[in-house]
Amino acid sequence: MPATALAETIGYVAATLTTASFVPQAWHTFKTRDVRGISLGMYSAFTTGVAGWLVYGLLMGAWPIVIANAITLALAATILGMKLRYR
């Protein structure tokens, strides 16, 4: 397997694992609407950081980064919105 294909495969596996690890927390928050344990400051910084990684991935043409961060940004922004609404 060429180095570029190996790097891309590693990127997709890493992106899948990190995004998938975020889903249970997001699902729990959607289901319970319990945002008491979520830090507004941390989630604001996290969501902004994920948006930055998404832009970076787009600029670099790095599709594993783009796909993972687009999904994570949608979930994180929704949870951040819930935190602002239900606090």
Averaged over 6-30, what is the pLDDT?
90
Domains of the chain, first to last: 3-86 (1.20.1280.290)
Q: Is there a contact between 64 and 15 (Cβ–Cβ < 8 Å)?
A: yes
The secondary structure of residue 66, as a DSSP letter, is H
pLDDT at 60: 95
Average confidence score pLDDT of the chain: 92
pTM of the full structure: 0.85
Phi, psi dihedral angles at 39 (to 5 degrees): -80, 125
Report residue 22's pLDDT band, with 50, 70 and 90 as the boundaries: confident
Please write the tens of the pLDDT for every residue from 57-79. 999 999 999 999 999 999 999 99
Angle, vertex CA 18, rays to CA 70 and CA 48, nearest 5? 45
Report residue 41's pLDDT band, with 50, 70 and 90 as the boundaries: very high
